[in-house]
Structure 1
Amino acid sequence: MTGEKKSGFVAETVKTIVYALLIAGVFRTVFFQPFWIPSGSMKETLLIGDFLFVNKMSYGYSYASCPSVRIPQIGLDVDAEDLCGWMRGGNSRLLGGEPERGDVVVFRHPVSGNDFIKRLIGLPGDRIQMVQGRLHINDQPVQVEEAGIFAEPMMPQGPEGSPPRCANAPVGMGGTCEKERAIETLPNGVSHTILNIGNQSTDNTGVFVVPEGHYFFMGDNRDNSTDSRVDQIAGGVGYVPYENLIGRADRVMFSSAGRSMLYFWTWRGNRFFKAIE
């Protein structure tokens, strides 16, 4: 191959890579965003190591729809606000759609900018309260039905290697970690599993009145979730503005029980394309 042909080949290769990255960037910004579940706050609906795509078309688009790219190993830290901060303000969205109570939503934390995934519990104007571990919406307790025990092995989970918290603690490594399991049905008929470990400070709260244009989120693993029950000053999530919603999680694509999604031998065979309820 002559020098001229080599330079032409390199140029075409670079162009192909650039076009592929641009297409991937547009796809991720406009349609779907990949999300890897890093914690157990949404068990058993979502497990550590679940991999899913977030549907960005569900609620329309805002500055939070732009992807954040963080690769600490090479010092890359590009925030969504760096790319699309000009869209922020007014708490509005382009082609905006209203989320529904019970949706599992990925949103941008109002302070840290990190992506969180929780269940939408409170709509604008709602009164939300926890009383002895039971959720109350607009001064009415939601329907809860006992559903046995959620059991999992006591072992390090996910990239961080964190062990689960257990209602039957202490549990030695290799033992069976148990949590109380129940089915909670929200006022609009959406039913989902919730887990309980024991009495926690967030099991009894004051009344939260959700402001206009904001939403109240909670994790299904109620005693192991940093969510809207704790305000942002205290390290929680607080009320989440409409413009901070990224999209709705509808389906798990696959799931890895290991330290990396690349460890295909640890993939959970029963979670391929599993619908999120």
Structure 2
Amino acid sequence: MSKPMSDAEKKKKSGKGELRETIVILVQALLIALVFRTFAFEPFSIPTASMQSNLLIGDYILASKYSYGYSRYSLPYSEVPWRGRILGNAPERGDMAVFRPVPQSENYVKRVVGLPGDRIQMIDGILNINGEPVEREFIERREDRDSNGMTLPVSVYREILPSGVSYEIQEVSDSAQFDNTSEYVVPAGHYFMMGDNRDRSLDSRSLSSVGYVPFENFVGKAEWRFFSIQDNIPPWQIWRWPGNVRLDRMFTSVYE
């Protein structure tokens, strides 16, 4: 006949069971988070002014992985020995996308303006696609502040693509470094990416720094802002949220 457990032994056994259950729950939560980040959405922060005023410095966005399918660049570790892409659809002109430029080791967020086979050229600040200037409507003059705290007056326009997709762009002038270029011919399987803040963006116009982006190098399609705070304040500094969190930008589509 077994000896009945004492109250202390029962308490000890109960404590071990609760600890085991807590560990299981934590492991399950981590696995769910990993699967969500790998196959559904991945968060990214916006540290520079290259996509202003559509994406501000201090915005936090979610990029959908399933929109463009999966490659080694959309996985948590891009060093995996796997080439190509499976599932998903090709990017469309006007999409805001997260990608890894070939010469770089960090992810970028820019807008798709050139598809495979397109001819892209900037003439006096106007985007030209396949020999045709893209419509650009003036909106207003405003101040634009970059990640170094430098503020400059900019002209804001609404750029309207041939498909009808439109969005705001900003220009410091129409005679900056990349406002007049030679013609770029986008190779097969590649895309031409540009920032909306045209004179404060390092993008495909610089072939040595970004250049044409292979489809394989796309990480995901920018979809939602879920948090936004001024001046790149770390979000964990909760005591600085009052007066700095931009509530009107939280839980909004990046295409609004």
Q: TM-score range by the shorter chain?
A: 0.7 to 0.9
Q: Partner letter of residue 221 of structure 1?
A: N
Deviations 1:178-221 (A, max 9, x none): 21111111111111111111332111111110000000000000
CA contact (8 A) 1:146 1:183 kept: yes
User: Cα RMSD (Å) of the superposition?
Assistant: 1.8
2:234 corresponds to 1:260: yes
Q: Partner letter of residue 274 of structure 1?
A: T
Higher mean Cα deviation, 261-270 or 220-229?
261-270
- Specify which of 164, 170, 173 is matched with residue 150 of structure 2: 164
Percent identity of equivalent pairs:
43
CA contact (8 A) 2:143 2:151 kept: no
Q: 1:1-277 alignment to 2 at 5 Å? A: 2-67=11-76, 80-82=77-79, 85-87=80-82, 89=83, 92-152=84-144, 162-166=148-152, 178-198=153-173, 199-232=175-208, 236-258=209-231, 259-262=233-236, 263-265=240-242, 266-277=244-255
Q: Partner letter of residue 149 of structure 2?
A: P
Q: Give the match's secondary structure for 1:23.
A: helix
TM norm structure 2: 0.87
Whole-angstrom distance in 2 between the partners of 1:245 and 1:164? 31
CA contact (8 A) 1:49 1:261 kept: no
Whole-angstrom distance in 1 between the partners of 2:16 and 2:253? 48
- Offset of 1:4 from its aligned partner? 4.4
CA contact (8 A) 1:29 1:65 kept: yes
Q: Partner letter of residue 123 of structure 2?
A: V
Whole-angstrom distance in 2 between the partners of 1:237 and 1:190? 24
TM norm structure 1: 0.81
Whole-angstrom distance in 2 between the partners of 1:36 and 1:150? 24
**Aligned residue pairs: how many?**
240
Unaligned 5+ segments in structure 2 are 1-7
Larger radius of gyration between Structure 1 and Structure 2: 2
- Offset of 1:13 from its aligned partner? 2.6
Q: Give the match's secondary structure for 1:13.
A: helix
Deviations 1:28-55 (A, max 9, x none): 0000001111111000011001111111
